[in-house]
Structure 1
Amino acid sequence: MPCWSFRVNAMFNKNCVFLIVASLAVAGGCTTTPTSNIKQPLTARPAAKPLVMVNDGAIYQPHQGIHLFEDRRARHVGDTLTVNLVENTQITRKLDNKQNRAGKATVDIPSPTILGHTRGIGATSWAPNSTADSEVKADITNNNSVTGAITVTVVDELDNGNLAVAGEKQVGLDNDTQYIRLAGVVNPRDIGQNGTIDSTKLADVKFESKGATGLDRSNLTSMMARFFLTILPF
C-alpha cells in the first residue's frame, strides 16, 4: 500500500474520532426543554409605580395607604395564588359492533347455438352465494389522577373581573427535570382566605406535566470508554 494512502486513512479516522467525541460532548451538556401547548405568557410582573415626592412631617402620607378591610387575595397583575391540583377524571368507552352480510346470485347460461342449430349440451346454471359475519367488542377505560400544588401568577385582568393566571414549576432531580405548567381563568370570589383555590374551579384549564432528561458526565464518560474500546485492535 502506498505511504500517502496510509496517511489519508489515518487522517480520515482521526477526523471521525474527533467529530464523534465532539458530538458526545455537546450532547452531554444539552437538555432539551419539552414543548408546550400553552401559547400565553406563564408569568407577568406588576406595573411599575410612579415615583412620588415624599413630604415628611405629616401623619398620613400620600400613596402609602393601608386598606383596613382588604385581604391579600390576588386581584392585580403580578399577584400570586396557589392552585391545589385535585384532578381526577375517568373516561369509559364501550364498542359493540356486529355485522351480518349475505349475498346470493343465480346465473343461467343457455345452450350455445352454432349455425342455427342448438347443440345438445344442455343449459348451465350457476348459483354462487356468500355469507360474512363480523363482530367487534372493546372496552376502554382511562383513569387520570393528579394531586399536588403550584403557585401561579396573575397575567391579565379581564373586563368582567376574572383573572387570567399561569405559572410554571421546574423540579430537577439528578439529571431529570420535571416541568409542570398551568394556565386558566379564576373567579376572585373562589379564592380562599389563605390565597388558595382548587383546580376544579378554574376555567379554560391547560395543565401539562412533562419531563426532560439530560446526559450527565458519568454517562458520557461511559459512552466514550465503550467507543474507544470498540476501535482498539486488542
Structure 2
Amino acid sequence: MRPLAISSMKRWCAGLAAALWLCGGTASGESLWRDIGSGFLFVDTKAQHVGDIVTVLVTESSSLNRQTETNTKKESTNSANLSSLFGLPLGDKTQYAFEGANEHKGSGSITRSDEVTARVVARVVKVLPSGNLIIEGRRAVRANDESQYVAISGVIRQVDITPANTILSTQIADAEIVLEGKGALAEKQRPGLLNRFADWLFLY
C-alpha cells in the first residue's frame, strides 16, 4: 500500500475514534446531569400526599383573667298586736315588732396563663378536594419519672408549608392541641382542691 494511503487511513481512524469518544462523553454527561437533577435538584420534599410527614412548630399561649362579685341584702319588718296569749286576756293590747336584716358580700378572681412550645412531627391522613391537608401527630417524652404528651390535629394549606417542610401551629385551621404532663413536677403545678373548687364556682 502506498504511504499516502496509509497516512490517510490513520487520520480517518483517529478522527472516528475522537468522534466516538466525544459522543460517549456527551451522553455520559447528560446522563449524569439527569441523575443529579432528578435525584436532588428538582425533588419537592414538602408534604402533599397521604402518609407524608410535616413538622409542626407549636407555639401557643393562653391567659384567663376573670373577676366576680356578689352583693345581696335583705331586710324585713313585722309587727303584731296581741290582746290575748294562750286564751288569757292581756288587758290593753300589746304591740310587738320584729325587724331582721341579712346581707352577704363576696368576690373572687381567677388568673391563669399557659405557654406551650414544642416540635411535633405530624402525618397527612387525608387530602381534601381543595388540596388542603388534614394532619394528625403526637409526641410523648419521658425522662426521670416525668412524662409529657403532646397531640395535635387540624387542617393546613400546602402553600403555608415552608421549603424545610415545617408549618406553624398558628397556621392550622380547626386546630386541636392537647398537652398533658405526669410526674412530681406536673403534680406540683396542679391547683389544689380548694383552688379547683373555686375555679368551678366562679366559672359556673
Which range, TM-score by smaller chain? Answer: 0.5 to 0.7
Match of 1:185 among 132, 139, 155: 155
Q: Which residue of the partner structure matches residue 82 of structure 2? A: 109
Post-superposition offset of 1:91: 1.2
Match of 1:151 among 121, 128, 136: 121
Post-superposition offset of 1:153: 0.5
> Runs (4+) of structure 1 moved beyond 6 Å?
none
Contact 2:62 2:115 in 1 (8 A): yes
Cα separation, 1, equivalents of 2:82 and 2:43: 98
Aligned identity (percent) is 27
Correspondences of 1:16-35 after superposition (within 5 Å): none
Cα separation, 2, equivalents of 1:89 and 1:120: 73
Contact 2:141 2:148 in 1 (8 A): yes
Correspondences of 1:31-50 after superposition (within 5 Å): none
Q: Which residue of the partner structure matches residue 53 of structure 2? A: 80
SS in 1 for 2:67: strand
Contact 1:111 1:122 in 2 (8 A): no
Larger radius of gyration: 2
Structure 2 unaligned blocks of 5 or more: 1-30, 32-37, 184-204
Cα separation, 2, equivalents of 1:161 and 1:106: 80
Post-superposition offset of 1:127: 1.8
Cα separation, 1, equivalents of 2:150 and 2:86: 85
Structure 1 unaligned blocks of 5 or more: 1-58, 60-64, 214-234
Q: Which residue of the partner structure matches residue 202 of structure 1? A: 172
Structure 1 residue identity aligned to 2:66: R
Q: Which residue of the partner structure matches residue 169 of structure 1? A: 139
Post-superposition offset of 1:152: 0.5
Correspondences of 1:206-217 after superposition (within 5 Å): 206-211=176-181
Post-superposition offset of 1:97: 1.8
Cα separation, 1, equivalents of 2:68 and 2:108: 5
Q: TM-score, normalised by structure 1?
A: 0.54
Q: Say which structure is richer in helix.
A: 2
Post-superposition offset of 1:209: 2.7
Cα separation, 2, equivalents of 1:185 and 1:137: 42
Deviations along 1:157-212, whole A, 9 cap, x unmatched?
Answer: 22333211111212232444432221122122222222111111212222223345
Cα separation, 2, equivalents of 1:189 and 1:124: 91
SS in 2 for 1:194: coil
SS in 1 for 2:130: coil
Post-superposition offset of 1:120: 5.0
Cα separation, 2, equivalents of 1:172 and 1:192: 30
Q: Which residue of the partner structure matches residue 64 of structure 2? A: 91
Post-superposition offset of 1:144: 0.6
Post-superposition offset of 1:113: 11
Residues 127 and 161 of structure 1: is their aligned pair in 2 closer, same or farther, counting only changes over 3 Å? farther
Deviations along 1:7-62, whole A, 9 cap, x unmatched?
Answer: xxxxxxxxxxxxxxxxxxxxxxxxxxxxxxxxxxxxxxxxxxxxxxxxxxxx9xxx
Cα separation, 1, equivalents of 2:167 and 2:50: 17
Higher relative contact order (CA 8 A, sep 6+): 1
Superposed CA RMSD in Å reads 2.9
